[in-house]
Structure 1
Amino acid sequence: MGYFRQFPGEELKSKALVPGLEPLKVRDLSKFLTSDPEGASELMELMVQGMKPAQAIVWNSLKELEEHQLPNLTRGFPNRHFLIGPFYKYFPALSSSLLTHDKTCISWLDKQAPNSVLYVSFGSLARVEESQFLEIAWGLANSKQPFLWVVRPGSVKGSEWLEPLPDGFLERIVEGRGYIVKWAPQQEVLAHRSTGGFWTHNGWNSTLESICEGVPMICSPSFGDQLPNARNVIDVWKIGVELENGFERGEIENAIKRVMVDKEGLDMRDGVMNLREKVNICLKKGGSSYSSLEDLVDYILSC
């Protein structure tokens, strides 16, 4: 998942705050999982420079989420900014996924208690080592918490699908308390009454969807925008916890209990429900995204 080994001095430096971008830490600055990191950085620089001459920028976000970052944004990009998100709320039935949704998981969720299930999905790109996959499996098993786990075919290096799981694991653990699918209708899963937490890679779409449906998060970011997204979830909005040491079964079990069982998790749920209400308001007439969309239409018509 893109975790890098660090020596003690480097680890200390990586936890330092980035001046002017607090609460981002050095380790939250975007990195790319590529054989050519220099080339990737140059590409990012070209993208940023290419945005600056634009007359306007449309953002898949909302003012209420980004208020603390807007001053820096407008200083760096002297364009018109239109925050009209979350986009998927305009067309919630649409999905850009190329993978087939396994809708049987919804029937399984229907049988579970409210807010009891941890939904686990790391998106459409991430791949893990077999050793990491096994730590995830035992962390889920040891938590004693119901879970819906998306294991994308080919996402475990060297395996087609679930082959690395120990003999009997599916029968002993999954059939009693968990459900594993190759892909899930994520928006429907997050909106389900039984879903109480989301273990995510913190891609922006997944992060926004979790907020919009009022679901607290366990954060496992690895590259790109996932790192700063997770930092906002943990330290700004305070609606999630971080797995700081990659995938280790004891830390995974502890994180699941913090989000799903402990009082800390109840506080996070209250916080994310608060944000969810702000999202609902921003999309209504007079709300920030609604008004920004109207301004965007007027701006286009005036050009």
Structure 2
Amino acid sequence: MENRGESQLQERLGRRLLFFPLPLQGHINPMLQLANILHSKGFSITIVHTKLNSPNPSNYPHFTFFLIDDGLSENSEASRNDIISLLTVLNVKCIEPFKQAMSELLADSSGDPIACLISDAILHFTTAVCKSLNLPRLVLRTGGVSSFLAFAAFPLLLEKGYLPVQDAKSAEPVKELPPLRIKDLPVITTSHPEKLYRLVEGMIQETKASSGLIWNSFEELEESSLVKLRQDFQIPIFPIGPFHKHFAASSSNLLAEDHSSISWLDKQAPNSVIYVSFGSIAAIEEKDFLEVAWGLAKSRHPFLWVVRPGLIHGAEWLEPLPEGFLESLDGKGHIVKWAPQLEVLAHPSVGAFWTHNGWNSTLESICEGVPMICTPCFTDQLVNARYVSHFWKVGVQLENGLSREKIEMVIKRVMEEKEGEEVRERVVHLQEKANLCVQPGGSSYESLKSLVNYISLF
């Protein structure tokens, strides 16, 4: 679908919205999708963004872009190796540049008056800046509601001794957060755990202090979590997802998509292919990479595998693969650096998605009715994988290390056995709900209408 220019909109609302995405792929995508949705409802859009992972303005000619200095240009690579340090630094170094940008934008009388800022929940410093300028701040949380509730429970989890996670107790249930076990809590390996706790505390506190909370989720998927959220957060809450079902956004991928994925899929049988992608941040050891390769080969199912440059510690790309590995597959394997994921998941040849369970990937798989094999890496992915495998039961989790034998067995469970058929039936049932919720009268359709009306009052 093409982006509609402002002149083609049925009704211009004469209000401008400012958006400030966190500069990571999984956060930029939903923020720009939300901007497209609200632009289609009549708002003008300005995207405030950092130098790090800057979006490409030429993909969004109908938006205005405003660059701020993030102070990361010299050491962004070092920070990126420790994601918690990067997020902590952003919340400090962006304060002054962001404040200056807000003042400039608010003083500019040439365009539509600014209604509010929509900020990523992790950029919690934006609360104080908006307060000082008397500008309403709404929050977009780009993960799921269920994982957010686990983050909100950190003080309780620390008090009860669930955190920090101890390996000896990791399989025990967290009674206060079913169906999670201790090992499913949304933590990340970091040399500074106190930074993680402070970052989460800032995100939760400043979300509670915001004028409203927007979700790329829907009532029918996370109903019980949304009930709990509304009890604990006394602010307006708008679950309007799945975003990509409202509006086909232009690509905001930071890596070039390889469309040979689609022509290769066209030659495969229906529901026969395993699509493998571990997202835009995770990195794995070379030994695990080789186990994945041999596990896929031994399964004898065709596979499309996204091997992002930087996925393998200490390797540029495919160098660790044994000589002749790809040739030995006899055309059954196709490896690319990045794939057009929505197109891939919608392709009739795809029978399962082996995923890291980032929220965008999890939601996209549900929306296309594709069963999942779950290998979460850190933070909310751990919660999402547990919900996929043990609450919604639309996937199977691969746990306790990667071995080719285990990988082959899990692929066969999902692709060939009765359990896989039952998983497919359940995910198709959820897919139907995802399609209905964005239709007139559906839960997300109505929630979006409420959001537009709410913002129009600012």
Aligned pairs, how many? 294
The 3-state SS of whatever aligns with 1:229 is helix
Structure 2 residue runs of 5 or longer lacking an equivalent are: 1-164
Q: Which whole-Å deviations, capped at 9, do the CAs of 1:108-159 have from their partners, x for residues lacking one? A: 1001000000000000111111101000001101111110000011211111
Structure 2 CA distance for aligned equivalents of residues 69 and 219 of structure 1: 21
Within 5 Å, give how 1:279-290 maps onto structure 2: 279-290=434-445
Q: Which amino acid aligns with 1:284?
A: Q
Structure 1 CA distance for aligned equivalents of residues 168 and 436 of structure 2: 41
Structure 1 CA distance for aligned equivalents of residues 169 and 226 of structure 2: 27
The 3-state SS of whatever aligns with 1:119 is strand
The 3-state SS of whatever aligns with 1:65 is coil
Question: Out of 222, 246, 250, which is 2:401 matched to?
Answer: 246
Question: Out of 280, 292, 295, which is 2:447 matched to?
Answer: 292
Q: Which amino acid aligns with 1:297?
A: V
Structure 1 CA distance for aligned equivalents of residues 167 and 189 of structure 2: 19
Q: Which amino acid aligns with 2:308?
A: R
Structure 1 CA distance for aligned equivalents of residues 355 and 187 of structure 2: 18
User: Does the 8 Å CA contact 1:218/1:243 hold for their aligned counterparts?
Assistant: yes
Name the structure 1 match of 2:334: 179
Question: Out of 245, 259, 262, which is 1:106 matched to?
Answer: 262
Aligned-residue offset at 1:188: 0.2
Structure 1 CA distance for aligned equivalents of residues 284 and 261 of structure 2: 23
Instruction: Please identify the structure whose Cα radius of gyration is greater.
Output: 2
Aligned-residue offset at 1:55: 2.2
Structure 2 CA distance for aligned equivalents of residues 291 and 272 of structure 1: 24
Q: Which whole-Å deviations, capped at 9, do the CAs of 1:202-225 have from their partners, x for residues lacking one? A: 000000000001100000001111
Q: Which whole-Å deviations, capped at 9, do the CAs of 1:19-59 have from their partners, x for residues lacking one? A: 23100111111112333222122111111111111121111
The 3-state SS of whatever aligns with 1:68 is helix
Name the structure 2 match of 1:188: 343
Structure 1 CA distance for aligned equivalents of residues 213 and 365 of structure 2: 24
Name the structure 1 match of 2:307: 151
Aligned-residue offset at 1:11: 4.7
Q: Which amino acid aligns with 1:191?
A: A
Aligned-residue offset at 1:93: 4.3
Q: Which whole-Å deviations, capped at 9, do the CAs of 1:259-299 have from their partners, x for residues lacking one? A: 11111111111111100000110000000000000111111
Name the structure 2 match of 1:131: 287
Name the structure 2 match of 1:69: 225
Structure 2 CA distance for aligned equivalents of residues 285 and 225 of structure 1: 31
Structure 2 CA distance for aligned equivalents of residues 251 and 180 of structure 1: 21
Structure 2 CA distance for aligned equivalents of residues 251 and 12 of structure 1: 23
Matched, 1:273 2:409: no
Structure 2 CA distance for aligned equivalents of residues 254 and 12 of structure 1: 26
TM-score by length of 2: 0.63
Aligned-residue offset at 1:69: 1.1
Structure 2 CA distance for aligned equivalents of residues 290 and 243 of structure 1: 35
Within 5 Å, give how 1:1-303 maps onto structure 2: 10-11=166-167, 13-173=169-329, 175-303=330-458
TM-score by length of 1: 0.94
Root-mean-square deviation (CA), in Å?
A: 1.4
Which is further off, 86-95 or 59-68?
Answer: 86-95
Aligned-residue offset at 1:258: 0.9
Q: Which amino acid aligns with 1:270?
A: E
Q: Which amino acid aligns with 2:387?
A: N
User: Does the 8 Å CA contact 1:202/1:219 hold for their aligned counterparts?
Assistant: yes
The 3-state SS of whatever aligns with 1:24 is coil
Name the structure 2 match of 1:3: none
Which protein has greater RCO, CA pairs closer than 8 Å, 6+ apart? 1
